[in-house]
Amino acid sequence: MMESKSQRVSDFELIRENVSEEIRKSRLLADDNVLVDVEGEEIILYGDVDSEEKKKMVNDMAIEVAGVLHITNNLKVINIHK
């Protein structure tokens, strides 16, 4: 049985929601602005974090979500402690 296009889109949307939920659950990211989008089979992370460690942490969290195959990490590291 072939999956319809609408089934695939809803699967990708569910993956996006699951990635977003994992990020929201992290207390370490409470002050950061991380957004998740999906384009085809690719998860795209964008927004701002305050360290390279957090940027990597978000990427690692996203890749652990079931169904995630590709990630583009467009997060920007900003120094809020100038």
CA atoms lying within 13 Å on the CB side of residue 28: 13
The more confident residue out of 14 and 80 is: 14
CATH number, domain of 36, equals 3.30.1340.30
Does residue 16 sit within a domain? no
CB 73 within 8 A of CB 45: yes
pTM of the model: 0.80
Query: What is the arrangement of strands in the sheet containing 42-49, beginning at the earlier edge strand?
Result: 33-39, 42-49, 70-77
**Residues 22-67: tens digit of each pLDDT:** 998 988 887 778 999 998 779 999 999 999 999 999 999 999 999 8
Here the tokens at position 61 are 């969290």
Does residue 12 sit within a domain? no
Question: Which of 11, 16, 58, 56 is closest to 34 using CA atoms?
Answer: 58
Does residue 22 sit within a domain? no
Does residue 47 sit within a domain? yes
Does residue 57 sit within a domain? yes
Could you list the residue range(s) of the whole structural domain that residue 73 is in?
A: 28-82
